[in-house]
Amino acid sequence: MKIAAAAYPIDWFDNFDVYASKIGRWVAEAKGADLLVFPEYAAMELASLGGRDVAGDLEAGLHQVARHADAVRDLHAALAAEHGCHILAGSGPVFDGPRPVNRAVLYGPDGVIGHQDKQIMTRFEREDWDVTGGPGLRIFDTAVGRIGILICYDSEFPLLGRILAEAGAELLLVPSCTDTVAGFHRVRIGAMARALESQCVVVQAPTVGACDWMPALDENRGRAAIYGPPDGFWPETGIIAEGAMDEPGWVITDVDLSRVRQSRADGAVLPFVHWPEQAASRLLTD
């Protein structure tokens, strides 16, 4: 299968049609990829449709983006059908309760497959934005593989990845949005660790570039990449493909998910199989 990971810049739009043109252009430029992954909070650029006062206000921006959910769904569903591909759309706020969750929706050629809400909130999401965690993780059985999603900060927590791996996930998608190089590397290191310990493929897709009209996404640092376990069936670095730092565009590569099963059965090391042995370890005090 061919996977495309986006390093995606945040743009200003005067109307929804301009946004739709941008997304349509990006999907077309993925050059026949079977799975396209857009970043965390990429949908927040729709806050521009409310004007600068709305886009510059943390609370008003959330509500502005959320009100376009139906149009965003219809756009991505149509593009997935037209191109015969799977698309993880850029995540954004959804008000299922009094406060929003950060939701990423997965589309296939036949429409919406399902969604994943971010589980664990960063300090900014908790203390400044009041975005909340959603209920539980999901597994998506698709024509391109068994997929799990860990949104940005979620990738830094090993047990979340382990839940998905034990449920059969071969491919973990990590859409991210980080405003510092350190933040990007925290997610990158987490994503690579999840690939190592669960012996699977992990896709990281970040937002990139500056945005002077929206305080929530004013700085965006990162590079798109696809990772695997460095266990003999994959590159020695664990990096299958990656782009340049902070450079917008797609990173596209072919991945054979049958190697996930090979890694888990006959890798140079077997951390996926040997994971339960950790439970037998105890702190030695003597």
Which of the following CATH numbers is that of domain 2-278: 1.10.760.10, 3.40.50.300, 3.20.10.10, 3.60.110.10? 3.60.110.10
DSSP-derived pairing of the beta strands 171-176 and 35-37: unpaired
Label each residue of 225-273 as H, E or C. EEECCCCCCCCCCCEEEECCCCCCEEEEEECCCHHHHHHHHHCCCCHHH
Calculate mean pLDDT across residues 134-138: 95
Specify which residues 210 forms β-bridges with: 219
Residues 167-219: tens digit of each pLDDT:
999 999 999 999 999 999 999 999 999 999 999 999 999 999 999 999 999 99
CA–chain centroid gap for 75, Å, is 19
Q: What is the pLDDT of residue 230?
A: 96
Distant-in-sequence contacts of 10-14, Cβ < 8 A, 24+ apart: 10/42, 10/44, 10/45, 10/207, 10/209, 10/211, 10/214, 10/217, 10/220, 11/45, 11/48, 12/45, 12/48, 12/213, 13/45, 13/46, 13/48, 13/49, 14/48, 14/49
pLDDT band of 85, cuts 50, 70, 90? very high
Distance separating alpha carbons of residues 222 and 224, to the nearest angstrom: 7
Instruction: Kindly list the domain boundaries of the chain, sorted by start residue.
Output: 2-278
Q: Which residues, 6 or more positions from 38, have their beta carbon under 8 angstroms from its beta carbon? A: 6, 8, 26, 87, 88, 89, 90, 175, 205
pLDDT band of 286, cuts 50, 70, 90? low
Full-prediction pTM beyond 0.75?
yes
Q: What is the pLDDT of residue 119?
A: 98
Helix (H/G/I), strand (E/B), else coil: 173: strand
In terms of Cα–Cα distance, which of 137, 59, 132 is closest to 101?
Answer: 132
Residue linked to tokens 């951390």: 271
pLDDT band of 282, cuts 50, 70, 90? confident
In terms of Cα–Cα distance, which of 81, 69, 92, 105 is closest to 24?
Answer: 81
Calculate mean pLDDT across residues 37-61: 98
Residues 52-73: tens digit of each pLDDT:
999 999 999 999 999 999 999 9
Q: What is the pLDDT of residue 84?
A: 98
> 89 with 247: CB under 8 angstroms?
no
